[in-house]
Chains A and B, each alone.
Chain A
């Protein structure tokens, strides 16, 4: 199975700053089938990005995804207080689909 490694494990930033989260795959993600999810404490995950760079419905444009092959990035251009959460990447190009271990974005 494809192993996804997210870095850093924890990212400490302030509101208004730019956040860059990384997701690296153990081998090429087929067709760049990679998604990003946000999860806040006690809540279900929420889809942010799919197909590496397409924003899901209702997601603010400060969230953007980029990358291809085995290296992907989620960027939050200007952090809002509600953006502090855990972020997971998921590949769905190979079966079984797999998740990264998560990056915690903290104030």
Chain B
């Protein structure tokens, strides 16, 4: 059974930093691209960032480019999202999502339960 478990969410002040982790199990992690998708309170879904199976190629939404960094450790089956210079508008539930392909973002066949990030003073 595929499982994705996010951690690292919490309350942070504007301008602060936070790192999310996503522990994966139930599939061969190193064979798939991975992504982060977020959902602001009461709003729809927004793709944030994606990463190829080796970590060699990264993709970002314009809204987070230059502030967020996606990475992975295939030896630990774990995906990360380093978030810097956080803004109030980054407040959202952040979902880890398994991609169906190897390289660039495609569609997402499994999702974690999400980690809430609140940016507020």
Contacts and interface: CB of A to CB of B under 8 A. Distances in A.
Partners in one complex: yes
A47 B108 CA distance: 7
Interface in B30-74: 37, 44-47, 59, 61-62
Interface string A90-102: 1010011111111
Given A44-B113, A45-B95, A95 B107 contact: no
Nearest to A57: B109
Most chain B C-beta atoms within 10 Å of own C-beta, residue among A39, A56, A92: A92
B58 to A, nearest CB: 12
Contacts of A57: 109
Contacts, number: 56
A24 B62 CA distance: 23
B87 to A, nearest CB: 19
A81 B95 CA distance: 26
Contact of B105 (A44, A45, A95, A102): A95
A35 interface: yes
Contacts of B112: 44
A84 interface: no
Nearest to A1: B62
Nearest to A101: B44
A45 B107 CA distance: 12
A72 interface: no
Contacts of B109: 47, 50, 56-57
A78 interface: no
B44 A95 contact: no
A33 B106 CA distance: 8
5 contacts: A50-B100, A88-B44, A90-B107, A95-B105, A99-B45
Interface of A: 33, 35, 37, 39, 43-47, 50, 56-57, 88, 90, 92, 95-102
